[in-house]
Amino acid sequence: MKGMDHDGYWYKYLAARHDLDIEIGFSLLFAVLISLLTGKTLVKFRGIVSESEDPKTYWEAVIALLVLGGVFIGLYAFGPS
């Protein structure tokens, strides 16, 4: 039976847009760099958060961007070309 239960379906689906993965990954890493240099980042439902005002939320957002950037670059590096 072919379909969504087939081995590797979701991996192939997520890695299908090979060139877009690297662009999204580097954009997210660029956002991390800007956040680290300015001390401010964009947070969902809260707008711009400063590191000095709310450090926990700031670092959670920066780490989330870093992890997502790494995931997209990993999809590019190890995905089917």
Q: How confident is the model at residue 31 (pLDDT cuts 50, 70, 90)?
A: very high
Strand partners, 40: 50
Angle at 73 between CA 67 and CA 75, to 5 degrees: 105
Between 4 and 28, the more confident residue is 28
Sign of the alpha-carbon torsion through 43, 45, 50, 52: negative
Q: Above 80 in pLDDT, residue 9?
A: no
Q: Above 70 in pLDDT, residue 47?
A: yes
Q: 18 in helix, strand or coil? A: helix
Contact assessment for residue 75 and residue 14, using Cβ atoms and an 8 Å cutoff:
yes
